[in-house]
Amino acid sequence: MSSPAESAIATYESDRDAALQRVKDLLAIPTVSTDPAFAEDMQRGADWCANRLREIGFDATVHGTDKHPIVTAEAGPTDGPTVLYYGHYDVQPADPLELWHSSPFDPQVVQGPHGDRIVARGAVDDKGQLMTFIEAFAAWQATHGGFPIRVKVILEGEEECGSPSLPGFLDQEKELLAADTCVVCDTGMWDVNTPAITTSLRGLVYIQVRLHGPGSDLHSGMFGGTVPNPAMLLSKVIAQLHDDNLRVAVPGFYDGIRPPDQDRIDSWYALGFDDKAFLATAGLDTDLGEKGTRVLERIWSRPTVEVNGLCAGYTGEGAKTVIGAHATAKISCRLIAGQNAENVRDALKQFFLDRTPKGCRWEITEFGAEDAFEVDGDSPWLAAAQEGLQAQFGKPAAMVGSGGSIPVCGLIREHLGFESLLVGFGLDDDGTHAPNEKFERVCFDNGVKSHLRMLESFARVTA
């Protein structure tokens, strides 16, 4: 006799192509949250998600915010455990467009080594992933006519631009969102056959620094050599962000850090991490990072400073002999446990202010600051998730770190008072934030089925 999850899995199997079409429908909406030009598409994306949740028996609401809407929904009995599911329907900008093999918002299914893959901006981050739990709910509902636990959903539209509306919303909707735990579906698997639960996430600080020099763009022949050149002077400051060992040289940056011990780092490598294969997914045959640390250690457990963008002077085709009036850098830090994001942001800003070139001034813009996050290893919800994943994959889930930042975990702990479980189905080579982002269809299928099995396990937890 099949279990409730297995029956629902059979339902999903019979509806698999329609599910894929629904994923493509959502991916076709260009929900770029960081660019004001896409504001209407953001609304369409939120409405699409709410309507789909209503179709499968949820009571769903689209909440306006100062920026992009937040979707909430709930269904199932009110007298047992409650699990909140989190995803984000916004995506990164698609540029550089010329490097895409197909239009980023015209989802394509193409063949890869693991069979079908879905190619589109947001395929894996995060619209494809949030559809794994929505399709799981659809299959469970169609099979059993109801849910074994109270299921709540929150889908935000500002994850890729620092979640400015989320803290206030969580604070205001404590009751609506009350739950025993939150399943955050925005992370990766160990490999295509091995599920993973992410137990640590790096935090994030993001600022933009613009160095202003001359009052307007100048002719480099008429003024070159005798006036401050912001492009060169900004480069000089950026060059000081790291020392010769590629350690971050911002004073106070490492204050309070709690790096993992060597045993934990060794345990990650014991999973079979292959530096060369990982670098190959980035088109590289060599690493470059902090002296005395290893590739995986760096991305899971070392804080960083990276330049994400540079712009100054003339950037078009050909030559222009200009000295630009200003130069801009976008700079982000990844943080680990023990660092205080606001302190790091202040230290980074001070680093630039302390190096203001003669005749220049800085204009600094902040884009969010979140601490790193670590999961409680003793949670019964963690055990239930592990049980569900083991049932689906026939092997234990890897307990991994992640280099990325998912601010919602810290915000949920702070504002709603419960913990999160990071269970996702992406692969390292999915091209998150890059051209030709993809999501393996086998990962999508395993994601839907894993959510069904975890739902069954969650129903057995007595909180």
If the CB atoms of residues 69 and 203 are measured against its own copies, the closer one turns out to be 203
- Asked if residue 405 binds its own copies (CB under 8 A), the reply is yes
Half-sphere exposure of 445 (CA within 13 A, CB side): 20
**C-alpha radius of gyration, the chain, whole number:** 23
Pick between residue 46 and residue 329 the one whose CB is nearest to its own copies. 329
Taking CB under 8 A as the criterion, the residue among 277, 307, 353, 463 binding its own copies is 307
Stretch of residues binding its own copies (CB under 8 A), selected from 22-30, 305-313, 337-345, 415-423? 305-313
Specify whether the CB–CB gap between 355 and 233 falls below 8 A: no
Q: In what order do the strands lie in the sheet with 203-212?
A: 326-335, 203-212, 361-370
Strands (E), 371-437: 373-374, 398-402, 420-423
**Interacting residue with its own copies among 4, 77, 259, 357 (CB under 8 A):** 357
* Cβ–Cβ < 8 Å for 196, 397: yes
Give min distance, CB of 20 to its own copies, in A. 25
Q: Which amino acid is at 175?
A: E
Rounded Cα gap, residues 242 and 254, in angstroms: 13
Q: Which is nearer to its own copies, 419 or 429 (CB)?
A: 429
Give the separation between CA 254 and CA 342, rounded to whole angstroms: 13
Tokens of 110: 């193409």
CB of 49 to its own copies, least distance (A): 22
96 binds its own copies (CB under 8 A): yes
Say whether residue 92 binds its own copies (CB under 8 A): yes
Stretch that binds its own copies, among 7-15, 45-53, 95-103, 337-345 (CB under 8 A): 95-103
Tell me, residue by residue from 107 to 146, as one string, x for binding to its own copies by CB under 8 A and - for no binding.
----------------------------------------
- Residue 325 CB, shortest distance to its own copies, in Å, is 8
Q: At what angle do helices 441-458 and 127-144 cross, to 10 degrees?
A: 50
**Interaction of residue 330 with its own copies, rule CB under 8 A:** yes
- Per CB under 8 A, contacts with its own copies among 258-297 are 279, 282-290, 295
Between residues 44 and 355, which has the closer beta carbon with respect to its own copies? 355
Q: Min. distance of Cβ 167 from its own copies in angstroms?
A: 17
Taking the least distance from each CB to its own copies, the nearer of 155 and 204 is 204
Window 375-404: contact mask with its own copies (x via CB under 8 A): ---------------------------xxx
Alpha-carbon gap, residue 394 to 13, rounded angstroms: 19
Give yes or no for residue 324 binding its own copies (CB under 8 A).
Answer: yes
Is 101 a binder of its own copies (CB under 8 A)? no
Size of interface with its own copies, in residues (CB under 8 A):
100
> Which DSSP helix (H) or strand (E) runs through 86?
strand 82-88
Residues 216-245 that bind its own copies (CB under 8 A): 216-229, 231-232, 234-236, 238-242
Of 320 and 395, the one with the shorter C-beta distance to its own copies is 320
- Using a 10 angstrom Cβ sphere, with 0-12 exposed, 13-18 middle and 19 or more buried, the burial of residue 235 is middle
What token pair was written down for 377?
């290893």
Residue 155's contacts (CB-CB under 8 Å, 6 or more residues apart) are: 46, 49, 70, 71, 72, 86, 87, 88, 89, 130
User: What residues are paired with 71 via a beta bridge?
Assistant: 62, 155
Minimum separation from the CB atom of position 277 to its own copies (A): 14
Q: How far is the CB of 286 from its own copies (least distance, A)?
A: 4
Cα dihedral sign, 270-339-307-129? positive
Instruction: List phi, psi (to 5°) of 370.
Output: -130, 140
Closer CB to its own copies, residue 239 or residue 270? 239
| Neighbouring residues of 21: CB distance < 8 A, sequence distance ≥ 6 | none
Question: Least distance (Å) from its own copies to the CB of residue 438?
Answer: 12
Closest to its own copies by CB, 241 or 443:
241
